[in-house]
């Protein structure tokens, strides 16, 4: 009997932190809103309607965004918005790793900034594919692998300098090629992906970490260090961050990647790919959507 590999993420902790962030999330959701805008651009670009749609994650933000997006709203009939956290679930609380929906239940599934926290992403994608009707469309946005590289380096340098070694304190994420390949493995037809790179500027590293807490996006690694580091460690980390990643005005840069990926539930009339493993088309090109330019947010 083989045992399953240990879980990378503590999803119970994720639920707790998202519930805690529920009251303030709307004030710190600029990355979520950017991701949702892109997802709805893609919905608008498709020349068909979606009578029944499911949203995984987002805390009800898709429904709110549709109030200002009449073209997208006109394409979507019944909208069911879910979230792992009870306080953020607009319609029903759902674990993305164990979907409770029957096969072929939806014409459209969207997931804004939720699936990067799943322990079994291939399994979650397979379940989403099953929940789609034939020729149904799926699009998601996840945090990409180069996100928070400055914070990651600063934490590791400070911990090594002060304590002689460093623990993982920022979660690993997927990259663009990973997502296209995973969609193909999960049985999606015509899988495509692209990346939106965003540089956000803050007054200092402590303001960045505050925003991450308010977003509910702090690390939930299952094997994270349990003993907290003291003030000396975080002050040194902030110093290193400012020394290495500040602009002339002394504001620091924080890099984020939002990876967009999408695909279709198989249907006999769909075109077939030229060869296996050829999912290299940019999602923006495939759907005729202009790629988003990097944005900037000034920290306090």
This prediction has a pTM of: 0.86
pLDDT bracket for residue 1 (50, 70, 90): very low
Q: Which residue, 173, 167, 172, is CA-closest to 224?
A: 167
pLDDT bracket for residue 287 (50, 70, 90): low
What's the rounded Cα separation, in Å, for the pair 300 and 271? 50
Strand order in the sheet with 50-56: 92-93, 76-83, 50-56, 106-112, 132-143, 252-264, 189-202
pLDDT bracket for residue 269 (50, 70, 90): confident
**Which of 7-21, 256-270, 273-287 is predicted with the least confidence, judged by mean pLDDT?**
273-287
**Predicted confidence (pLDDT) per residue in 207-240, tens digit:** 999 999 999 998 888 877 666 778 999 999 999 9
**Predicted confidence (pLDDT) per residue in 270-280, tens digit:** 766 555 455 55
Task: For the chain, list the strands marked E by DSSP.
Answer: 50-56, 76-83, 92-93, 106-112, 132-143, 189-202, 252-264
Determine what percent of the chain is predicted with pLDDT higher than 70. Answer: 84
């Amino acid at each position: 009997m083989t045992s399953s590999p240990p879980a990378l993420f503590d999803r119970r902790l994720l639920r707790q932190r998202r519930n805690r962030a529920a009251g303030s999330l709307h004030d710190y959701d600029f990355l979520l809103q950017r991701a949702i805008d892109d997802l709805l651009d893609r919905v608008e670009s498709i020349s068909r309607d979606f009578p029944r749609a499911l949203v995984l994650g987002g805390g009800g933000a898709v429904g709110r965004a549709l109030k200002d997006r009449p073209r997208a709203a006109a394409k979507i009939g019944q909208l069911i918005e879910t979230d792992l956290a009870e306080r953020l679930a607009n319609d029903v609380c759902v674990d993305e790793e164990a979907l409770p929906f029957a096969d072929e239940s939806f014409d459209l599934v969207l997931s804004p900034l939720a699936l990067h926290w799943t322990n079994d992403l291939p399994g979650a994608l397979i379940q989403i594919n099953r929940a789609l009707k034939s020729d149904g469309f799926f699009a998601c946005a996840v945090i990409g692998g180069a996100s928070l590289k400055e914070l990651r380096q600063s934490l590791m340098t400070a911990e090594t300098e002060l304590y002689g070694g460093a623990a993982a304190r920022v979660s690993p994420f997927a990259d663009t090629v990973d997502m296209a390949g995973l969609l193909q493995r999960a049985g999606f037809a015509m899988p495509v992906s692209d990346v939106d790179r965003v540089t956000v500027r803050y007054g200092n590293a402590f303001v960045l970490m505050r925003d991450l807490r308010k977003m509910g996006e702090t690390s939930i690694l299952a094997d994270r260090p349990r003993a907290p580091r003291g003030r000396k460690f975080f002050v040194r980390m902030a110093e290193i961050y400012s020394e290495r990643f500040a602009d002339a005005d002394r504001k620091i840069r924080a890099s984020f990647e939002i990876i967009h990926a999408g695909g279709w539930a198989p249907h006999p009339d769909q075109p077939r790919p030229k060869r296996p493993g050829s999912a290299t088309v940019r999602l923006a090109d495939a759907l005729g959507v202009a790629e988003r330019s990097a944005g900037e947010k000034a920290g306090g």
